Structure formats: C-alpha cells, structure tokens
C-alpha cells in the first residue's frame, strides 16, 4: 500500500513547486502567474533570449497549465 503523502523522486510524476510571472519569464504583458518547476531536467532546452513567444498561443497554453485544463491550438 502506498501513502498519498509520499514524496516522489520520479521526475515524470513530479508536480510544479513554484509560480513564475508570465511577464518576467515569457516577456508577455500579463499579470498571470503560472506553475513552474524550480529545477530543469534533461528535457528542458537552454533559454534562447532572441525567441519571441506568440502572445495568444502562449497565454492559452499557460492558462491551461495554470487551471489544469486541456487547450486546443490550431
């Protein structure tokens, strides 16, 4: 039997442990804070400071993450 309060060491099962500002992280004018992981794993690429996020698409995806909802991107 497992205990629901058991801390997992499997990164695939880990939950975000902090919140970040969409404005600071993505450069999008929004007051939204979204869940994030404090440490990156091997699947996270290096940050490209020249990449520009599409505002509408990024906000839709981030809102889905923030509210645990599915998002359709076309």
In this predicted structure, the answer to whether residue 5 has a pLDDT above a threshold of 90 is no
Q: What pLDDT score does 32 carry?
A: 95
- Residue 11 gets the label, from left (phi > 0), alpha (psi -120 to 50) or beta, of alpha
Structural domain boundaries of the chain? 13-66
20: enclosing H helix or E strand = strand 18-21
- pTM for the structure as a whole: 0.72
Q: What pLDDT score does 74 carry?
A: 85
Residue-wise burial string across 17-26, b where 16 or more C-beta atoms lie within 10 A, e elsewhere: eeebebeeeb
Q: What pLDDT score does 37 carry?
A: 93
- pLDDT tens by residue, 21-67: 999 999 999 999 999 999 998 999 999 999 999 999 999 999 999 99
Closest CA to 63 of 51, 72, 74, 50: 72
β-strand partners of 36: 18
């Amino acid at each position: 039997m497992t205990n629901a309060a058991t801390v997992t060491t499997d990164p695939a099962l880990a939950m975000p442990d902090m919140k970040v500002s969409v404005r600071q992280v993505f450069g999008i004018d929004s007051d939204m804070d979204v869940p994030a992981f404090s440490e990156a794993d091997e699947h996270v690429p290096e940050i490209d400071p020249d990449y520009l996020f599409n505002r509408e698409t990024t906000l839709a995806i981030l809102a889905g993450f923030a509210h645990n909802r599915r998002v359709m991107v076309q």
